[in-house]
Chains A and B, each alone.
Chain A
Amino acid sequence: MLAITDVGRPTQPNLLQVADLNFWYDAHQARPETRALKDVGFSLERGAITAIVGESGSGKSTLINAILGLHSSRNHRLDARSLRFDDVDLTALSHRQWREIRGRRIGYIAQDASGSLNPLRRIGSQLEEVLVLHHPTLKRGTARKAALERLTHVGFDDPQRIFDSYPHQLSGGMNQRVAIAAALAGNPQLILADEPTSALDVSVQRQVLDHLTRAIKRSGVSLLLITHDLALAADRADRILVMKSGEIVENGPTRSVLSEPRHEYTKALIAAAPMLTDEVGTATTLSPAASPLLQVRDLSKTYGDRKGAAVSAFAKVSFDLHPRETLCIVGESGSGKTSLVRTLLQLTEADTGSVAFNGYAVGDLKGGDLKRFRRDAQMVYQNPYASLNSRHRISTILREPLAIHDIGTRSEQKEAARSLLSRVGLPESFLTRRPSQLSGGQRQRIAIARALITGPKLLVLDEAVSALDVSAQQAVLELLKELQESLGLTYLFITHNLAVARQFSDRVLVMREGRIVEHGATAQIFTSPQHPYTRQLLEAAPGFEASALVHGHH
């Protein structure tokens, strides 16, 4: 690939050169073991797309901040043998000099698309402001023209409407495209993109990344893409760097990193990215005579919105869920999947239709019968930070369901809590801890244990692994599978993540705007999707292109 560089600047062979970069958040505690970045070294080629892959806390954002000179703490300490951008030494710049670099030579795109623009100003005025800042010769009329032109470059067909809008009137994906245009306004040589699409829906994600790569290729800019998603990196990047606990553990061209990973951690990441593997959930063999545990018929629900108009959350939903089966409901945000499970569990009432659990109608349950149903049907929430009462100890949290249902004596309850804790793979010493002392994965295990302690038949998993890092995600999914087999559980799994659905479920139900658009066995949905929306979702999923690289189909 040919890189277009600015003529007139003395050019170094590499655009960015980092060597032995060490970073501490607190200069007073600067010891080798407290480093947030440990001897980080790499270089960026001109015009290439490089991805840094790592979990939260791996130091990838810290690295970006160091390159931009925007640190989150004041008394940090940064040591580097080399931290050089083109001809500039980034370790010794004044505030004024940094302003010459930022925007003009290095652009930046953040994860929070909707928060990337000032909510009180129109898109147009913000774009004009940044254009005039970097091109002082622009006059009023020409700045406007330039802004409209930049908007077309990031794929807007009606730039005038976008120009006149406020950020809250646009979707997250549209805001991110405006932010890309703003980052490119100063014609920088390098764009740093920190998880630019992680907060967006899958189909929007792909669209935004397409516009980003297109805009970058057009102007010959280099891109440093930060992501937690190896599959996404594999789709887009020429080169992949893997970071773990502040260190770069893998660095190589995408193809070789995927096909011959050297570091154990990279291998684990590849194994944990289901789109990159061949593994497809195999349907549990069901005897056709088995009566369904959950029978949903023509279920509909509407909400009144702020203006008082009726908005349909979901309509005419029907499906069966058989004992010991895992059914995945897949849909993007706003597809009605969460409203659906809340209705199934009688947290809200349905408008029409029926839900039968074990043969009895859930909608008619009152008082003691409803309480009995709660013992049999439990739920695990997405965010384990919010679903546990932070004031209670783990033992109190685990015993609470038994206390509510008046099961067993105090010591029996304690014994049950202890045995379930070891069942979900946590040591007994955790009983006296509070949720704030646990990691996300550990909290989710506690949430699972609490849901299981009354011995339910049905477990609803509402995005139960989406808030976790990839490695914790895998471990929790394996635990769930193991528990299902040994306890004979039935799972209703809600997710937006196709990769997880493919790996975890027996059957898949695709929802869109409150309706079921496709329904079938997992293998069938993933190999021969019937509905165009399902196909669109599949193609948008990260790793769709890269899977070929791993399996060497090319």
Chain B
Amino acid sequence: MTDAAVLPGSTPRRRWSSLSFPGLNFWLALAVIGLLLVCAVSPQLFATHDPLAIAVRGKLQPPSAGHWFGTDHLGRDVYSRLVYGTQNSLRATSIAVALGLVIGSLIGLVSGTAPQRVDSRIMRVVDVMLAIPNLLLSLAIVTALGFGLVPVAIAVGVGSIGSFARIMRSEVLRVQGATFVEATALLGASKGYVIFRHVLPHAMGPVLALATVEFGAAVLSVSSLSFLGFGAPPPEMEWGLLIAEGRKFINVGWWLILFPSLVIVGTVLTTNHLGRELERRHAGDH
């Protein structure tokens, strides 16, 4: 909208305020994430049973008032195991995203602000990282580091460095080409001042939006690696691992797979929604 004739306070302000107050879905999504975080920090608040208590007599019970999500082959409460599993799942995911975000954006920032020769060399290496599918790169790292929650987290994080580097670089280049950046340089500002005061704040928005989307992708990768048996070993609890365990009883206990699946899908959908919302807000920002 380039409506130069409108008075201040009419259309532009409406657009601005609509950006400040996103819809109900946005707050709902934030609430879901908050709930998951509380689950991760203190699962005992939500769990109804001891997640490790074995009760062979009550094994493979379908969902009921006593066991909301049913019980597994050892009679353990699936709902409580899911609540406790949140901790491991979110911890691994957070480590992965933090690793990718920090290293990736640093690489992207250096690449975007460096002279063109340095830039093109860095980006060639990043291109190679992108040539290997994330999951396969993660598998290679897991092979090297060994199995477990932290190796899986590191593996997934390293796998996402390429995407972060690429988006940070392209954002830095885009913002550096903006007129207001040249205008600031023309005011006599140094390169460092321009980068940290103008370029980075503008470039950070889309990168953080990507981080939110990558959070969902990391939930998928972590649970996939756990499902394949490369994550934390039982009796540890993790969403993907719960499904892997339930898989052996797939023909008798549909609840063993359905409920953990819904939690994973719900989490990914929520973070993806948040990420897209953030992207939209930044798209209207330029």
Binding site for B on A (CB under 8 A): 55-58, 345, 347, 370-371, 374-375, 378-379, 381, 383, 385-391, 400-401, 404-405, 433-434, 436-442, 447, 450, 454, 467-469, 472
* Among A374, A375, A400, A436, contact of B15 (Cβ-Cβ < 8 Å): A436
Chain A residues whose CB sits within 8 angstroms of the CB of B5 once the complex forms? 55-58, 439, 469, 472
* Among B7, B15, B179, contact of A387 (Cβ-Cβ < 8 Å): B179
For residue B184, CB closer than 8 A to chain A, the reply is: yes
Given contacts A386-B180, A388-B180, are A347 and B185 in contact (CB under 8 A)?
Answer: yes
Given contacts A56-B3, A438-B12, are A389 and B198 in contact (CB under 8 A)?
Answer: yes
Expressed in whole angstroms, the Cα–Cα distance for A379 and B184 within the complex equals: 11
For residue B45, CB closer than 8 A to chain A, the reply is: no
Expressed in whole angstroms, the Cα–Cα distance for A441 and B2 within the complex equals: 12
Expressed in whole angstroms, the Cα–Cα distance for A438 and B12 within the complex equals: 7
Q: How far is the CB of B70 from chain A (nearest CB, A)?
A: 46
* Among B8, B185, B201, contact of A437 (Cβ-Cβ < 8 Å): B8
B 1-27 to A, binary, CB cutoff 8 A, 1 in contact else 0: 011111111001101100000000000
Stretch of B47-55, B75-83, B187-195 on the interface side: B187-195
B4 touches A440 (CB 8 A): yes
For residue B73, CB closer than 8 A to chain A, the reply is: no
* Among B7, B186, B193, contact of A347 (Cβ-Cβ < 8 Å): B186
Chain A residues whose CB sits within 8 angstroms of the CB of B198 once the complex forms? 389
Lowest 8 A-B CB distances belong to which pairs?
A: A440-B4, A374-B188, A386-B179, A57-B5, A371-B188, A387-B179, A57-B3, A401-B187
B9 touches A437 (CB 8 A): yes
Question: B164-192: which residues lie under 8 A (CB-CB) from chain A?
Answer: 178-180, 182-189
A404 touches B8 (CB 8 A): no
Chain A residues whose CB sits within 8 angstroms of the CB of B186 once the complex forms? 345, 347, 374, 378-379
* Among B3, B7, B187, contact of A404 (Cβ-Cβ < 8 Å): B187
Binding site for A on B (CB under 8 A): 2-9, 12-13, 15-16, 178-180, 182-189, 193, 198, 201-202, 285-286
Expressed in whole angstroms, the Cα–Cα distance for A56 and B1 within the complex equals: 10
Expressed in whole angstroms, the Cα–Cα distance for A400 and B187 within the complex equals: 9
Given contacts A378-B186, A389-B198, A404-B187, are A440 and B8 in contact (CB under 8 A)?
Answer: no
Interface of A is mostly: loop
Chain B residues whose CB sits within 8 angstroms of the CB of A437 once the complex forms? 8-9, 12-13, 16
Expressed in whole angstroms, the Cα–Cα distance for A434 and B184 within the complex equals: 17
Chain B residues whose CB sits within 8 angstroms of the CB of A379 once the complex forms? 183, 186
Q: How far is the CB of B134 from chain A (nearest CB, A)?
A: 32
14 extra A-B contacts, CB within 8 A, seeds A55-B5, A57-B6: A370-B188, A375-B188, A386-B178, A386-B180, A387-B179, A387-B180, A405-B187, A405-B188, A437-B16, A439-B4, A439-B7, A442-B8, A447-B183, A450-B187
Of all chain A residues, which has the CB nearest B15? A436
Q: How far is the CB of B16 from chain A (nearest CB, A)?
A: 5
30 A-B pairs (CB sep. < 8 Å): A55-B5, A56-B2, A56-B3, A56-B4, A56-B5, A57-B3, A57-B4, A345-B186, A371-B188, A374-B188, A386-B179, A386-B180, A387-B179, A387-B180, A387-B183, A390-B180, A390-B285, A390-B286, A391-B201, A391-B285, A400-B184, A404-B193, A436-B15, A437-B9, A438-B8, A438-B12, A439-B7, A441-B4, A442-B8, A469-B5
Q: How far is the CB of B123 from chain A (nearest CB, A)?
A: 19
B187 touches A374 (CB 8 A): yes
Chain B residues whose CB sits within 8 angstroms of the CB of A433 once the complex forms? 8
Q: How far is the CB of B278 from chain A (nearest CB, A)?
A: 15
* Among B3, B8, B178, B188, contact of A401 (Cβ-Cβ < 8 Å): B188
Chain B residues whose CB sits within 8 angstroms of the CB of A438 once the complex forms? 8, 12
Of all chain B residues, which has the CB nearest A430? B8
Expressed in whole angstroms, the Cα–Cα distance for A409 and B172 within the complex equals: 32
Q: How far is the CB of B225 from chain A (nearest CB, A)?
A: 39
Q: How far is the CB of A412 from chain B (nearest CB, A)?
A: 18
Chain B residues whose CB sits within 8 angstroms of the CB of A434 once the complex forms? 16
Of all chain A residues, which has the CB nearest B205? A391
Chain B residues whose CB sits within 8 angstroms of the CB of A375 once the complex forms? 188
